[in-house]
Amino acid sequence: MLLAQVVDASQVVRATSARKLKVAAVAELLVKAAPDELAQVVAWISGELTQGKIGAGWRTLAAVSADPAAAPGLTVSAVGDALDELAAANGAGSTARRRELLAALLSAATADERDFLVRLLTGELRQGALAALVAEAVARAAQVPVELVRRAYMLSGRLPVTAVAAMTGGAAALAEFRLEVGRPIRPMLASPGATLDGALAEFDGEVSVEYKLDGARIQVHRSGSQVWVFTRTLREITASVPELVQLVAELPCTSVVLDGETLALDDAGRPRPFQQTMSRFATSLPGSDPASVQPPAPSPAEVVSTRDLLLHPYFFDCLHLDGVDLLDAPLAERRESLTEVAAAHTIPALVRPGAEAAADYFDTALAVGHEGIVIKSLSAPYAAGRRGRAWQKIKPTHTLDLIVLGAEWGYGRRTGYLSNLHLGARDPDGGEPVMVGKTFKGLTDELLRWQTEEFPRHERVRDDYVVYLRPELVVEIALDGVQVSSRYPGGAALRFARVVRYRPDKEPADADTIDAVRALL
């Protein structure tokens, strides 16, 4: 298969807003791919690399000079081999070797192929829920039920592997996927809930009400004496959190998979600022060159020595216990297993509370320094990787995780700083983020300085007033509501939006969708 065929399908996906046409274009592409090409094709059309990070960011690509080819000739296999070589280039002289390899690859590519490769290598092909769309296309191409593909993807965490199984082994191969201790699965997510009373009524009181912690999502696995700890993006951080590893290793079980949050507490037992918890994770922002790009620094009052920041786990779900998978069990049953194995380390919760008790619990959560509460249906299974109504987060003010699309140069005391943010919501059908508003509120002097230094690293283009960014940075925004607007393409605009913090622990695929924004109208 030629790379040009992948590029053509990608252009169809980008050019249409009709989900059915997107799915059809990708399915047609997959049918044409040979078995040994499928993994690469599925990864690329999803905006990913099978090799992971290969050290070829914007800085490296900008240093490469090569004229494009006149006609298509690159094959999928040839590009895959070149990317393997790039990923393997390490140590002394690796920078020059990467430039040499990139020059050879890009000079063999046409202008359209080069544009595709550059966006793929820099992460700009990431378009929110494109993986979900590709999963539908895999089901269509393999002629298997889409739910089988989604479940296999949930359990494998790797769409290329799932696609190869579907296309070569059909439904029988997909049915072989199981939860594997030591291999993370995508976490189940909560949707913004409108009101506490509304959420309780929706599930007829059959709910668990839990604190909404301002911490970092973790998924821990244990098999015998071996322990793994993963972030919400499935990145392994085991070596960075020895206190969590020791705690999980001492739980009364042989094997377990737990979902939860971790956060650092101060001497009074109250949660420390989110930035302090994240400092233990050494998180780099997506789309950066190999040099680590750190999130905004905490204010001087928040600075604490990392060695003093012991992390405390708060588990809220049990997905596997001593050889028994619990993904399909209702939450009520999973909570019993959670209490059995980790009662002392669970998030405080009320089960089937009345309206008054739930309201008091909400007030208590805020009083002790948490963000709010989460309402969970006791009858719902664990829907990994999905943000549905079975879990609803209730906060005193609405917050959304949005994508930074650009920033305007400030004026007055903000002259010389990138200030007013352009904010976008994720397109659930895999298109470009949908702009929903602007804000400069909530930006501290530290954030202004950080934005002005960091944003050019993610620059797509600029004019005299605005630096437009590749969709790579996620920011948490508080708002008073959403109103109908003809100014923005999504038909909705944020009301009184203000910056809460940046979220280096989240990727654009984790941002809230335009549907979530419209739900607040």
Across the chain, how many H-helices and E-strands are there?
17, 19
Under 8 Å CB-to-CB from 332, ≥6 apart: which residues? Answer: 351, 378, 379
| Residue indicated by tokens 């549905």 | 388
Task: Retrieve residue 352's tokens.
Answer: 């089937």
| Residue indicated by tokens 């989604």 | 150
Active-site hit among 22, 212, 438, 506: 212
- Residue 191, Cβ density class (10 Å: 0-12 exposed, 13-18 middle, ≥19 buried): middle
In 157-307, alpha helices (H): 159-175, 196-202, 242-249, 274-278
The DSSP element (H or E) to which 58 belongs, if any, is helix 58-62
Strands 418-425 and 498-502: unpaired
Q: CA-CA distance, 20 to 133, in Å (whole number)? A: 9
- The answer to whether residues 110 and 70 touch, using CB atoms and an 8 Å cutoff, is yes
Secondary structure (3-state) at 470: coil
Strands 349-351 and 466-469: unpaired
Is 506 in the active site?
A: no
Query: Of the candidates 401, 440, 437, 447, which has an alpha carbon nearest to the alpha carbon of residue 419?
Result: 440
Listed in order, strand segments (DSSP E) in 171-281 are 189-192, 207-212, 216-223, 226-231, 255-264
Q: Check residue 312 and report its DSSP letter.
A: E
Strands 387-394 and 189-192: parallel
- The answer to whether residues 164 and 142 touch, using CB atoms and an 8 Å cutoff, is no
Query: Of the candidates 44, 89, 56, 505, which has an alpha carbon nearest to the alpha carbon of residue 286?
Result: 505
Q: CA-CA distance, 94 to 428, in Å (whole number)? A: 38
3-class secondary structure for 377-403?
A: ECCCCCCCCCEEEEEEEECCCEEEEEE
- The answer to whether residues 377 and 207 touch, using CB atoms and an 8 Å cutoff, is yes
**Between the CA of residue 253 and those of 3, 248, 315, 425, what are the distances in Å?**
49, 9, 15, 42
Q: Check residue 353 and report its DSSP letter.
A: -
Q: Which long-range contacts (CB under 8 A, 24 or more apart) does 132-135 make?
A: 132/428, 132/430, 133/13, 133/19, 133/22, 133/23, 133/26, 133/429, 133/430, 134/26, 134/42, 134/45, 134/46, 134/159, 134/163, 135/159, 135/162
Residues involved in catalysis: 212
